[in-house]
Amino acid sequence: MLGWFASPAAAHAIIDLDGVSAVAGTTSQMTLEVQHGCLPAEATLRVDAFVGRLWRGVEPGAVPGWQTTVERLPQGGWHIAWTNLGPPIPFGTASFFPIEVAWPSKAGTYAMRVTQQCTNGASYDWNQQYFPATADSPSPPLTPRPEVKVVSRAEASTANAQPARPVHMNTHSH
């Protein structure tokens, strides 16, 4: 059985919206960044991300050297898994996972639970609340649970944010 540790000093997961607001009811890109391996003696083998049923859909982008799967969960929501196909990712190496997201229909703060599985059987589960990413700043480097602030169309217009495009995604399982 893998041990689950919530240690922000051991590993980091960040949501970056790349300067574009997450606007309720639209679709846009985000990047999940895993900043480094679990500990200097443990390298990353796999990253899993879980989002709730209010997220309307997710479509992970291809990442060279990683196998990607996405499945709809029975209770709603999504599970995305990235499995490293090459040598384990060393401690000092960041990994970037692009995801096209169909944002929830209502404005609010939404979390993404992320786990990182490492060599030596270690695993880290980031699920402690801190504060969300916005269009202008990613969730902070020490955030255990990545979150995103989804704004209304009116809030996006008022803030002169570049709203996401209203596109309907294919939300089938892979």
* Cα(148)–Cα(9) distance, integer angstroms: 21
Q: Which residue has the higher pLDDT, 128 or 158?
A: 158
Domain CATH for 31: 2.60.40.2230
Give the domain range for residue 14: 3-158
pLDDT in the model for residue 174: 39
**How do residues 53-65 score in pLDDT, each as one tens digit?**
999 999 999 999 9
Confidence of residue 140 (pLDDT cuts 50, 70, 90): low
Helix/strand/coil percentages in the chain, nearest 5? 5, 45, 50
> Number of folded domains in the chain?
1
> Is the predicted pLDDT of residue 87 greater than 60, yes or no?
yes
Q: Note whether residue 171 is domain-resident.
A: no
Q: Note whether residue 163 is domain-resident.
A: no
User: Is residue 127 helix, strand or coil?
Assistant: coil
Query: Nearest-5° angle of CA 38, CA 43, CA 44?
Result: 80
Burial grade of 46 (CB within 10 A; 0-12, 13-18, 19 or more): middle
Q: Note whether residue 14 is domain-resident.
A: yes
Q: Note whether residue 85 is domain-resident.
A: yes
> Is the predicted pLDDT of residue 172 greater than 90, yes or no?
no
> Is the predicted pLDDT of residue 120 greater than 50, yes or no?
yes
pLDDT in the model for residue 143: 43
For residues 24 and 104, the answer to whether their CB atoms sit within 8 Å is yes
Q: Note whether residue 167 is domain-resident.
A: no
Q: Which residue has the higher pLDDT, 142 or 25?
A: 25
Q: Which residue has the higher pLDDT, 95 or 161?
A: 95
